[in-house]
Amino acid sequence: MTEPITIRLPFPPASLSPNARMQPHAIRRDRRAYRAQVRAAAMNVLRTPGYAKPITPLPAPVTADVVFIVPDNRRRDEDNLLASLKAAWDELVSIKLLADDAHGQLHVRFGGLQVAKNERGVLVTLRTEGDTE
């Protein structure tokens, strides 16, 4: 069993939502930029004292508990919020924090919305199967 890893990611841009109606080149640009932000956030956490960067990816299956930090109580679609994180999962696989984000390898659980005035972000806690609560 490994210790849970919590990463605060930036809030995904609206263009990464499945409902976005944008030009493909704009979506690719935003996706690339978001992946770079996710990489930086993950590497900052893995480099802090108390965390040892995994030599190998977290053993599957991994559960990701996701809490979205939003500035207000507006209604939001849970499915679209979770789908907008696809680029984040891809980047976590790319930096070898996760082995795979395929079905059965990564279980994403919506942890709700946390309202914090003037803040936006995503808290992701990664746990291996033996660590799930």
β pairing state of 121-128 and 62-70: antiparallel
Q: What are phi and psi of 53, to 5 degrees?
A: -60, 125
Higher-pLDDT residue of 117, 131:
117
How far apart CA 105 and CA 115 sit, in angstroms, is: 30
Whole-number percent of the chain with pLDDT over 90: 75
> Hey, which of 62-66, 73-77, 96-100 has the most confident mean pLDDT?
62-66
| Confidence category of residue 85, pLDDT binned at 50, 70, 90 | very high
Indicate the pTM of the whole model: 0.89
In 3-state terms, what secondary structure has residue 74?
Answer: coil
Kindly tell me the sign of the dihedral angle through the C-alpha atoms of 78, 110, 71, 30.
Answer: negative
